[in-house]
Homo-oligomer: A and B are copies of this chain.
Amino acid sequence: MKDITIPGGKDAEKARKLMRVFSPLSGTELEEQYPVSRTEEVQYAVEQATAVFPVFSTMSSSQRADFLAVIGEEIIALGDDLIQRAMAETGLPEARLIGERARTVGQLNQFAAHIREGSWVDAILDPADSDRKPFPKPDLRQMLVPFGPVAIFGAGNFPLAFSTAGGDTASALAAGCPVILKAHEGHLGINALVSRAIRLAAKRTGMPDHVFQYVVGDGYITGLELVRHPGIKAAGFTGSFTGGKALLDAANKRPDPIPFFAEMGSINPVVVLPDAMASRGEVIGQQLVWSFTLNAGQFCTNPGLIIVREGPGMESMILAMHEAVLTRQAELMYGKGIRTNYDTRTREMLQQKGVTLIGKGPDGGPLDGQATLARVNAVDFLIQPELQHEVFGPFSLIVVCPDDHSLQQVLRSLGGQLTATLMAEESDMNGREAMMSELMNRCGRLVWNGVPTGVEVSPAMQHGGPWPASSDSRFTSVGTQAIRRWVRPVSYQNLPEAFLPSALQSHNPLNIWRRIGEEWTKAHL
């Protein structure tokens, strides 16, 4: 593995563009400089990843599992240096970063356990039948195999868990795909540290060089160079719609289009129904304000839209929200641009027809996002589709629906979402059965009486959703199923046992779950 962008190397001696990271904590640029990757360095990285693929992809799952687990150990071994650097680069509180580090290591361990168990290759065996008429039936066995080198884009809002050694990298390495990471501009120091941890882990576990590499660049130029390179076989992105769409278009316009998974965020509608509101409206209101202002509202599952079916208790719920917002301390946002954009977008929203301000939290420092809650009626919401555009930050909009008909119309107007949430009593669902389907058909995850923030790393998690929440709703970027983005099925027809991958051999040497007919079994064939 070559640290093509660590300062001090021979490349750094030549004249080249250098980047520094802005610190929301100090309000100034940090002193370390990171050289921008040159085009030929991006190409070199892809060539190395291509060369290493045949070796890495044919290592046993248990070897790759060791690698992932040791990456986690090495990240922990970075100790306080990592946390301090992350605080400086993101302004996030220490506790949040320690929690996110635990999540990151947890993800690596989950993928390690998942591939060590081995059934993830989805083996399907369909034995021969030489007596079948009119033609004998061949032996067919299918399993998932990795694509090749993968490009990963570090996310802005999770400097550890969706970045250098985050879920995308972990899932791609687990699958057997060499990774080239485009480091997030705001996390270059974190990236250098975590990349060092990955390099040490690779050395310790006997991985080939270049199994993980990173590149540095500003804007999308370096990202586009990666996505357009013929050696890159798939890519993963978490970030803004604009960024995701630009890279997706580039992936689609290649002479050989590649799978590009982009998680581009959403407004995560919450539907509040009358019985729930009547019995615990104030609590719901407080929960929601907490959720949409958490970490300055910079989570992709931030509930930016609260759709309320009018009824007794509504005004006291909104009053409770008003009070909660007024006392909600402003929190640091990730950067000047994000804060400026938040202010602009909030102002735009409040200027739309029929949108009224319910409350604003206390103002903070120049980079703090001020909690903002607004309200609009269903008709004004329906006639202004721009009210559905995400406001990245601690903002939420209450849509008041006077009846079930307008509620249904509002639901039908919604684009694809990562999550949809129902705040309801079971009695609320009487006569509203279809509403559950309406919501389900528009989201990746349906939450009952909870908040959408907090994305559990689970084999049953779907973090992705219909467009524009993600570029392909058939895949997730969180949870062990995220590995499926980097693999494809291959069928082997009539191969001799000796040449079959061990996952497909008749005596099941890996002792994995396999599908034979419609049965899942660990039995021999």
Contact = CB atoms under 8 A, between A and B. Distances in A.
A248 B252 CA distance: 9
Nearest to A440: B490
Interface stretch (A159-167, A281-289, A365-373, A465-473): A465-473
Interface stretch (A150-158, A326-334, A493-501): A493-501
B513 A461 contact: no
Contacts of A117: 518
Contacts of A456: 126, 137-138, 140, 493
B449 A494 contact: yes
Contacts of A467: 256-258
Contacts of A125: 460
A458 B490 CA distance: 13
A134 interface: yes
Interface in A183-206: none
Nearest to A123: B460
Contacts of A322: none
A446 B476 contact: no
Contacts of A135: 454
A492 interface: yes
Contacts of A257: 248, 252, 467, 471
A141 interface: yes
Most interface-central of A137, A443, A459, A471 (chain B CB within 10 A): A459
A474 B489 contact: yes
Given A140-B456, A434-B54, A468-B256, A494 B448 contact: yes
A141 B460 contact: yes
A519 to B, nearest CB: 7
A447 to B, nearest CB: 4
A474 B446 contact: no
A142 to B, nearest CB: 4
Contact of A256 (B256, B415, B443, B474): B415
Given A256-B468, A488-B473, A489-B481, A138 B450 contact: yes
Contacts of A488: 444, 462, 466, 473-474
Interface in A376-392: none
A101 interface: no
Contact of A499 (B436, B495, B499, B513): B436
A142 B460 contact: yes
A140 B474 contact: no
Given A460-B126, A520-B520, A447 B489 contact: no
B489 A462 contact: yes
A20 B109 CA distance: 62
Size bin of chain A's contact surface: 35 or more
B462 A494 contact: no
Nearest to A481: B489
Contacts of A471: 257
A307 B257 CA distance: 27
A425 B134 CA distance: 27
A316 interface: no
A228 interface: no
Nearest to A125: B460
A458 B518 CA distance: 11
Contacts of A484: 474
Contacts of A440: 145, 490
A342 to B, nearest CB: 25
Interface string A495-524: 110110000000000000101011110000
Most interface-central of A142, A460, A494 (chain B CB within 10 A): A460
Interface in A31-74: 54, 57-58
A126 B259 contact: no
A455 to B, nearest CB: 10
A224 interface: no
A229 to B, nearest CB: 15
A518 B140 contact: no
Pick the 9 closest A-B CB pairs, nearest first.
A520-B520, A140-B460, A126-B460, A462-B491, A142-B460, A256-B467, A445-B491, A473-B488, A124-B460
Given A138-B454, A142-B460, A461-B491, 9 more contacts: A57-B437, A124-B481, A147-B473, A249-B252, A256-B415, A256-B468, A446-B490, A447-B494, A450-B494
Interface of A: 54, 57-58, 99, 113-114, 117, 119, 124-126, 134-135, 137-138, 140-142, 145, 147-148, 248-249, 252, 256-259, 415-416, 426, 429, 434, 436-437, 440-441, 443-450, 454, 456, 458-462, 466-468, 471-474, 476, 481, 484, 487-496, 498-499, 513, 515, 517-520
30 contacts: A113-B518, A117-B518, A124-B459, A124-B460, A124-B481, A125-B460, A126-B460, A137-B456, A141-B460, A142-B481, A145-B440, A256-B415, A256-B466, A258-B467, A259-B472, A426-B496, A444-B488, A445-B491, A448-B492, A448-B493, A448-B499, A450-B494, A461-B491, A462-B488, A462-B489, A462-B491, A466-B488, A474-B484, A474-B489, A481-B489
